[in-house]
Amino acid sequence: METSQSLSSGLFDTGILGKWYSTGTNIAPEIQATGVDSVFAEFKANKTYIIETFSAKQLKTTHKGTFNQARSKTGEIWDLALSQNSPAAATHEGIFEITSGQTTTMIYEVVHVPDLVPPTAEAGFGSTAGGAHGAAYVQNFIRVN
């Protein structure tokens, strides 16, 4: 490496990596409808994830698997694919975008396929099934690490 060159890595270069928390009105309406009142998610550099959902009755469900993420060609939106292996095999696809201010936040819209047609970066958030569900699957997270 030349002395005039430098390496840099910004917040947005790592995509979804990190620990995230969502609660209350930040949880997608369709997720709230199942009784979930908070969600903790961790996406690791080895491309594995753990998503824990909690209900008002303190019931916890842990979802585990692997993921792939890629920058889309639309703004700062990324494409995301989850291959869940626990508690049952499932595939989820969608999009996310990270913003930074006083806190780092993420808007996230991911759905089970093939049950639903996933949102696209080009169509934006609320585009699940061609927009038929509006913001029903749109969730907001706050970075906790």
Main-chain phi, psi angles of 111, to 5 degrees:
-130, 160
Q: Across residues 24-50, what is the average pLDDT?
A: 96
**DSSP-derived 3-state class of residue 28:** coil
**One-letter amino acid identity for 102?**
Q
State the CATH architecture for 16-143: Beta Barrel (2.40)
> pTM of the prediction?
0.89
Q: Is 75 helix (H, G, I), strand (E, B) or coil?
A: coil
pLDDT digits (tens, 9 = 90+) for 38-66: 999 999 999 999 999 999 877 999 999 99
